[in-house]
């Protein structure tokens, strides 16, 4: 797999909007923008999140799922993608919307993190799920705290 821009998408379904991001490199922590690929995907993410936020009216809203290969949070098998998480957070802040859940893989195990975020003066809990158990052997996970 090589680093390539442009492999990202949006799926609108009756009750859910799913954004698929391409986190690029094979083994590193993953990223959605950077010197080698530019900012096209991050800019697209901000525009897409803004359109989704603008489409929400009178409590008529779909769930918002963001799916990406490299995990923003990981405690075993592979490291967290801190720079990618910062890019995602910035896009969400600019668009005025946060995901309801973030799905990832890459680490060959199952992990679930609940992230507490203050957003628009409200406490929001966002589950981050790593479900990378469909590939090679299982990687150990460090005990949670």
60, pLDDT greater than 80: no
Q: Give 24's pLDDT tier (boundaries 50, 70, 90).
A: confident
Measure the CA–CA gap between 123 and 46, rounded to whole angstroms.
22
The CA–CA distances, whole Å, from 36 to 2, 20, 21, 31, 46 equal 11, 20, 17, 11, 20
Distance CA 114, CA 127 (A): 5
Least confident of 46-55, 112-121, 129-138: 129-138
Tens digits of residue pLDDT in 70-80: 888 887 767 67
Look at residue 52 and tell me whether its pLDDT is greater than 90. Answer: yes
3-state secondary structure of 123: strand
SS3 state at 61: coil
**What secondary structure letter does DSSP report for 70?**
S
pLDDT digits 0-9 by tens, 88-121: 999 999 999 999 999 998 777 788 899 999 999 9
Q: Whole-model pTM? A: 0.86
């Amino acid at each position: 797999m090589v680093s390539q821009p442009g492999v990202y998408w949006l799926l609108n379904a009756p009750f859910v909007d799913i954004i698929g991001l391409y986190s690029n490199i094979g083994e590193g922590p993953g990223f959605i923008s950077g010197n080698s690929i530019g900012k096209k995907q991050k800019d697209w993410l901000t525009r897409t999140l803004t359109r989704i936020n603008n489409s929400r009216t009178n409590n008529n809203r779909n769930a918002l799922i963001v799916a990406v290969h490299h995990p923003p949070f990981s405690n075993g098998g592979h490291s967290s993608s801190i720079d990618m998480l910062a890019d995602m957070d910035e896009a969400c802040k600019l668009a005025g919307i946060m995901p309801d859940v973030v799905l990832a893989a890459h680490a060959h195990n199952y992990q679930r993190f609940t992230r507490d975020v203050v957003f628009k003066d409200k406490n929001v809990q966002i589950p981050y799920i790593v479900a990378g158990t469909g590939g090679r052997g299982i990687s150990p996970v460090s005990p949670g705290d």
